[in-house]
Amino acid sequence: MLVANRGEIACRVFRTCREGGIRTVAVHSDADANALHTRVADTAVRLPGAAPSETYLRGDLIVKAALGAGADAVHPGYGFLSENADFARAVLDAGLVWIGPPPEAIEAMASKTRAKKLMGIEALSEVTADDLPVLVKAAAGGGGRGMRVVRELAQLDAELTAARAEALSAFGDGEVFVEPYVEGGRHVEVQILADTHGTVWALGTRDCSLQRRHQKVIEEAPAPGLDDLTETLYDLSVRAARAVDYVGAGTVEFLVADGKAHFLEMNTRLQVEHPVTEAVFGIDLVALQIQVAEGAALENHPPRARGHAVEARLYAEDPAGEWAPQTGTLHRLTVPDGIRLDTGYTDGDPIGIHYDPMLAKAVAHAPTRAEALRRLSGALEKATVHGPVTNRDLLVRSLRHEEFTAARMDTGFYERYLADLTAPAADPYAPLAAALADAHGRSRFGGWRNLPSGPQTKRYLMAGTEHEVHYRHTREGLTADGVRVVHADARLVVLEVGGVRRKFEVTRYDDQVFVNATALTALPRFPDPVAERAPGSLLAPMPGTVVRVSEGLAVGAAVRAGEPLLWLEAMKMEHKISAPVTGTLTALYAAPGRQVEVGALLAVVQQT
């Protein structure tokens, strides 16, 4: 089997293939030449280039790769070409088995505009002020790409342009549509599985309301508190599947508000969040996809659901910095036993700019919802995540938030609580522990002297704030004012504060230091002078490519604070760069197609 995808989902499908005795073929871009999915496959085929449009969206190259590698079947995963009917036809026309629904079903449902018409729902043809707020949405694909909430009519044209560009880059299809935006609703979906013999399973519900940028962050099964609405959702989902003679795994998505279910779309593929359904029903959805594609018949009724499962997506991103994606080396990623971890990375792998910033999915299953939430939040808190900034702390706080634990959440959760969920809460003793571990690691002769020594000083950056710590080498070892140092070596520091002993595990990678779950940056003792940027400088918040500059923007133009000036594309998403102040644009260094690193100077606005 060839998996026409990359990263976590390719590794996930390969795992089932290995267990079932099926040999595997990976495809990879140049950026993914040494990626985990490439390394674990039996065979790998290069797709020249790095951009999705050159590689994972080239169906012709993927079919050629499958034939050249001797594959019998193709699994599309999710994203990329997974909902592309032409690609499905090309696979079938090449004599290969397609692990997915018939192309006709994909055509009917993969375009959200056609899917809504099939379910008797019309998109907005003309938007007026009375229709606001509205949601601009890509007709193809998902994952939050090509989606924009518009609250002011004047913003509609610009958001339509941005959504089209993002959808074209992610899915190879720039079609978008506009629909009413229902606020305060829950995102609920039903997993379906259908065979070629007329059986359609509704495999429970999932709640995916916690989202950022319309992309899911935490998902659970079953969706809590639906009561009598569950059977309605099942009926609508089965009806949608039968309407297009569906075969295989798929998901029907709804917005639940005021006790009513509003159809959103049908995803004709495996969902990112499928592991929570697998955990609750005790099944392997990928294995079932393969069996259905081979013509096997499903049982008349699905297996019985047991317990509750919760999944959290770990992203390399900064939630406090407008969710900016992060790059760098993932030094280490581990979770405690008993937690399922689906990932496309191993220790030491680089996190690049070309693809989605999701590092892994952590899944907990327990008899009750409360136990599953507690198990997952505790595991994430104890997880080792060494590398770029991630959303790990946000996930832990979200899972423990009163509104979420009480199942009162909706899709506006992060709009309301993001500031609280991202407030700095670093350990105040982490810098001291880092300094003591560093001192032990660098001392060759025990560090003591006959005469009392002066205090040693080290500086660290923690949660955006500089911290200076002091300690001394004495005959008794390392000491610090107000704290008893029980033990200190290069990896473990034990401090006693107010009669309470605390352990700190310390790991250092060059100037990056991790103390338990707290990340610090070691600052030089004598910092080099650096050139200051002019006030009003716009610096690239992430590495990426300049894809657009605001129409007519030129040096000398008057701009307003918050006005969009240009857009960067990084990790398959567009990121808006706005004027920091109201004034005059005095310099512009960005042009479409320019690749920039973090901190690159893009423009300068002189305040007026």
Q: pLDDT tens across 555-581, in order? A: 999 999 989 999 888 776 788 889 989
Residue 239, pLDDT above cutoff 90: yes
Phi, then psi, of 403 in degrees rounded to 5: -65, -35
pLDDT digits (tens, 9 = 90+) for 71-99: 999 999 999 999 999 999 999 999 999 99
Predicted pLDDT of residue 258: 85
User: Do 2-99 and 537-607 share a fold?
Assistant: no
Cα distances from 184 to residues 102, 252, 408, 422, in angstroms, run 35, 20, 10, 22
pLDDT for 34 equals: 97
Whether domain 537-607 has CATH 1.10.1060.10: the reply is no
* Contact between 368 and 190 (Cβ < 8 Å): no
DSSP state of 111: S
Of the chain, the percentage scoring pLDDT greater than 90 comes to 68
Which of 482, 488, 480, 486 is closest to 443 using CA atoms? 488
Predicted TM-score of the model (pTM): 0.86
With 0-12 / 13-18 / 19 or more C-beta atoms within 10 angstroms meaning exposed / middle / buried, residue 127 is middle
Q: What is the pLDDT of residue 295?
A: 97
**Nearest residue to 487 via CA among 520, 440, 447:** 440
What mean pLDDT is reported for the chain?
91
**Per-residue pLDDT tens over the stretch 173-224:** 888 888 777 778 999 999 999 999 999 999 999 999 999 988 999 999 999 9
Which residue, among 476, 463, 473, 482, has the nearest Cα to 436 in the 3D structure?
A: 473
Using one digit for the tens of pLDDT, what is the confidence trace for 391-407? Answer: 999 999 999 999 999 99
Q: Residue 314 burial by CB count (10 A; 0-12/13-18/19+): exposed, middle or buried?
A: buried
Looking at residue 477, what is its pLDDT? 74
Between 574 and 429, name the one with better pLDDT. 429
Percent of the chain clearing pLDDT 70 (strictly above): 94
Residue count of the chain, please give it.
608
- The set of residues, in sequence order, having a beta carbon less than 8 Å from that of 129 and lying 6+ positions away, is 153
pLDDT value, residue 143: 60
Residue pair 144/56 in contact (Cβ under 8 Å)? The answer is no
Whole-angstrom CA distances from 23 to 1, 42, 135 are 6, 6, 43
When pLDDT is averaged across residues 252-274 and rounded to a whole number, the result is 93
Give the pLDDT of residue 450: 54
pLDDT at site 446: 47
> Are the C-beta atoms of 345 and 333 separated by less than 8 Å?
yes
User: Does residue 122 carry a pLDDT above 90?
Assistant: no
Query: Rounded distance, CA 118 to CA 449, Å?
Result: 83
307-400 is a CATH 3.30.365.10 domain: no
* Distance of alpha carbon 171 from alpha carbon 144, whole angstroms: 12
C-alpha 495/C-alpha 486 separation (Å) is 6
Mean pLDDT calculated for residue range 587-592: 89
CA 288 to each of CA 20, 95, 303: distance values in angstroms, whole numbers, following the listed order? 11, 21, 13
Residue 531 has pLDDT above 80, yes or no: no
Q: What is the pLDDT of residue 532?
A: 54
The pLDDT-based confidence of 142 (bands split at 50, 70, 90) is low
What is the predicted pLDDT for the residue at 443? 53
Structure tokens at 248: 């295989």
**Three-state DSSP class for 472?**
strand
CA 249 to chain centre: 22
Asked if residue 236 lies in contact with residue 261, where contact means CB atoms within 8 angstroms, the answer is yes
Contacts (Cβ under 8 Å, ≥6 apart) of 362: 311, 312, 314, 335, 339, 340, 341, 376, 379, 380, 383
Over range 517-532, report the average pLDDT. Answer: 74
> What single-letter DSSP state applies at residue 228?
T
CB under 8 Å to 274, separation ≥6 — which residues? 191, 249, 285
Contact 138, 176 (CB under 8 A): yes
Measure the CA–CA gap between 145 and 57, rounded to whole angstroms: 15
Band of residue 148 on the pLDDT scale cut at 50, 70, 90? confident
In this prediction, residues 485-491 reach a mean pLDDT of 94
In whole angstroms, what is the distance from residue 166 CA to residue 158 CA?
12
Cα separations (Å) of 50 from 29, 77, 140, 369?
A: 5, 19, 22, 42
User: Tokens 């571990």 — which residue?
Assistant: 437
The domain defined by 2-99 folds into Rossmann fold (3.40.50)
The domains of the chain are located at 2-99, 307-400, 430-523, 537-607
pLDDT (mean) for 263-274: 94
Query: Per-residue pLDDT for 305 more than 70?
Result: yes
Taking 60 as the threshold, does the pLDDT of residue 64 lie above it?
yes
pLDDT band at 530 (very low <50, low <70, confident <90, very high): very low
- Structure confidence at residue 66 (pLDDT): 98
Range name among 162-171, 279-288, 364-373 with the lowest pLDDT average: 162-171
Whole-angstrom Cα Rg for the chain: 26
Tell me which architecture the domain covering 430-523 has in CATH: 2-Layer Sandwich (3.30)
Nearest CA to 365 out of 300, 407, 305 is that of 305
Mean pLDDT of the 285-305 span: 97
Beta 43-46 vs 25-28: how paired, if at all? Answer: parallel
| 3 state DSSP class of 191 | strand
Q: Region 368-379: what's the mean pLDDT?
A: 98
Mean pLDDT of 357-377: 98
- Rounded Cα distance between 108 and 536, Å, is 50
Higher pLDDT, 131 or 436: 436
